[in-house]
Chains A and B, each alone.
Chain A
Amino acid sequence: MKMARETVGGLQIRQWRGGAGAPLLFLHGFEHHPGDAPFLNRLAQLFEVRAPEHPGFGESAGFDDNYDIIDVALHYRRLIESWRKGPVDVVGHCLGGMFAAELAAISPHLVRKLILVDAYGLWLDEQPLPDPFTLPPKELERAKWCDPGKAPIPEPSALEGGSEPGAIGIFRAQNLGTATKFMWPIPDRGLVRRLPYICASTLVVHGEADGLIPLAYARALAEKIPDARVSIIRNAGHLPMIEAEAEFIAAVSQFLG
């Protein structure tokens, strides 16, 4: 995967691109873009992958306090249109899953198949989500990983190595600050009302041990999306594409055919 700085509809963004085959758009989660992660390279062996960094994250510009969920969906509509490959497959993880579902509801003609991975976007009163912004680092690690002891260090990320001291803190503050627009205080911006508009055949992938988003959320997503089923990945938490890469790739490639 190669990083490139590009302009999408006037916004300067970073994007990782690679591979050949059917077009696949990957949308990252609330903490950070995974950069040149192994799982993206595996996907790039099967697909033509584009993995943009969301506006307001890392070094992608174009975010201000007015920027709302509808603006995100329209931004990705424009990105797919400028790709000129017709409808694409969309894989959205975590916050990127919320964005992917909104995109699929608003622009059904641009999304061939949809995969939502441990996705935010719903709220179930009977199973309240933990507040990811206040979890102390160790508790966050425990919530994210099925086995924190085996988590990769450092986690694949868009932060370039050799950055100046304090850069990690700034990078994280930038990303999480932007994420608060969509996830604070409760990560529900009305997606539940729009899920029935999704036309794409959908796979809801969920790490069985996700401590940030319980499995019930995957089932609730699949219930509201007209054509959806759930695929549970064992021995994985919130990031199954990292913690159980082989199973994740298998599930994705099988579904996308």
Chain B
Amino acid sequence: MKFHWFAEVTYPDLPADFRERYRSAWVSPPARLADPQRVGETYRMFLRLMQLADQVGFDGLTVNEHHQTVIAMTPSPNLLAASLATSTRNAAITIVGNSLALYNPPTRIAEEYAYIDCISGGRLAAGFVLGTPMDSVFAYGMPPIEVRARFEEARQLILRAWSEPEPFIFNGQYNKLRYVNIWPRPVQKRIPIWVPGGGGSVETWDLVNQHDYCYGHLSFSGLYSSKPLVDAFWQYINDRGGNMNPHRMAFTQVVCLANTEAEAEKEYYDAVRYFHRNSAPGNFGNPPGYTTIRSLKAAAAQVSQGRSKLTPEDRIRASRGEMSFWEYDEKGYIIAGPPQRVRQRLRDLITDLRIGQLIATPHVGNLREEVAAENTRLFGLQVAPYLRDLWADQPDYWTPEASQKLVAANAPAAPRERAAACAPQIPAHAK
């Protein structure tokens, strides 16, 4: 079982009427709303939080790519990753990921990932993503119908650029290169590849199944929202005789740790509402051509099975910030409270969804740094060690070998001893 630290780098000072006034948090909210000095402070805060996560035993530090949005100001996650690679020691750098279709030539991604793998000593997990519609087809203007074909061509080019022993010629539909010969090559001979999705595209499932990549269901709406799709993914893999190892599945979950439940509500409620109120994609979420007809039909079949416990009204209320703090918790959007409660809830989530890579999200919205730091510490020291027994019998091929060894050797000793001491208690929490 692995635990990664992740948060969307959200602009913290949006006006109170942002949602009503600007309609979309993506693509079109005017950038004049953000003070660049404040953005810089926010970047520095995220670096500090992830450096702390590295010290308290997280297995990975996760960054992602988004464009033109108030909720994720990370147009190039590789920049953030490069900063982390030189200021952390142990954890994997899990980039989830680069939007392959958007870069011409995509060898730029092969080069930057190789750089990060070199400078971090082989700690890179390389994410290949299509990008959200807001990113790829609106911010970057890619015709939706081309995104998947460009992604696939870029994927093949990048893998060859990492592995071909000699310079080679690449004559693709979208990329024509006479001399492919990137310097440097990555340290790892076999870089773990993550292909996070979230929309349930069956083409992506085919890809991860065929190549045994780590899939990721990256959402911020939790267990009940995601369960039908995650279950459908595992069923799909199982039906095809694919690899059922839980470590090939990543999942994001917002956690809100505090010493008491009352304290959790006091410290986190405003930030949780801030995030949900200010993340709607407006009219940019579902352009024609982005999802294939085959996937649309598959999604319709999954919806008709009706296994989600979350109603459409729940989703609307959540996105408007109209749920109470504990309703967000009850509906799965967050997992909040003291460590003992969070441990149990996570154990249920992890086993229910068969997740081997939990991408914990200890910062959300406009949360204060002190609270996020305490959240990170509590998670690293009082939650993660108590859940390490999960899937311990299954090998993890999707976290870099180097970081697995470093985390095992260098993570703070105390919590691990405590975990061992408390091990007999764990069955009491387990179902």
Contact = CB atoms under 8 A, between A and B. Distances in A.
B149 interface: yes
A169 B296 contact: yes
Interface stretch (B5-13, B282-290, B327-335): B282-290
Interface string A124-139: 0000000001111000
Given A170-B293, A173-B289, A184-B289, 9 more contacts: A65-B145, A65-B150, A172-B288, A173-B291, A176-B289, A180-B287, A181-B145, A185-B138, A185-B141
A200 to B, nearest CB: 29
A179 B287 CA distance: 11
- Range for the number of chain B residues in contact with chain A: 20 to 34
Q: Chain A contact residues (Cβ within 8 angstroms of B): what range?
A: 20 to 34
Given A173-B296, A181-B143, A66 B173 contact: yes
Contacts of A66: 149, 173
B146 A173 contact: no
Nearest to A166: B300
A15 interface: no
Given A180-B145, A181-B146, A170 B296 contact: yes
B129 interface: no
A134 B287 contact: yes
Interface string A159-187: 00000001001101111111111001110
The 7 closest A-B pairs by CB, nearest first: A177-B289, A176-B288, A184-B143, A65-B149, A185-B141, A134-B283, A180-B289
A174 B144 CA distance: 12
B201 to A, nearest CB: 13
Interface of B: 137-138, 141-146, 148-150, 173, 283-284, 287-291, 293, 296-297, 300
B contact patch SS? helix
Interface of A: 64-66, 133-136, 166, 169-170, 172-181, 184-186
Nearest to A135: B283
Contact of A136 (B143, B283, B296, B300): B283
Nearest to B140: A185
Contacts of B143: 180-181, 184-185
A166 B283 CA distance: 20
A29 to B, nearest CB: 14
Nearest to A177: B289
- Residue with the highest number of chain A CB atoms closer than 10 Å, among B138, B144, B287, B288: B288
A79 B283 CA distance: 38
B283 A65 contact: no
A178 B293 contact: no
A177 B288 contact: yes
Most buried by B among A135, A170, A173: A173
A133 B287 contact: yes
Contacts of A136: 283
A120 to B, nearest CB: 14
Contact of B288 (A64, A135, A166, A173): A173
A180 B141 contact: no
A141 B3 CA distance: 49
A185 B297 CA distance: 26
A33 B431 CA distance: 57
A170 B289 contact: no
B283 A177 contact: no
Contacts of A177: 144-145, 288-290, 293
A186 B291 CA distance: 20
Nearest to A183: B143
Contacts of A184: 137, 141-145, 289
Contacts of B149: 64-66
A104 to B, nearest CB: 24
A44 to B, nearest CB: 31
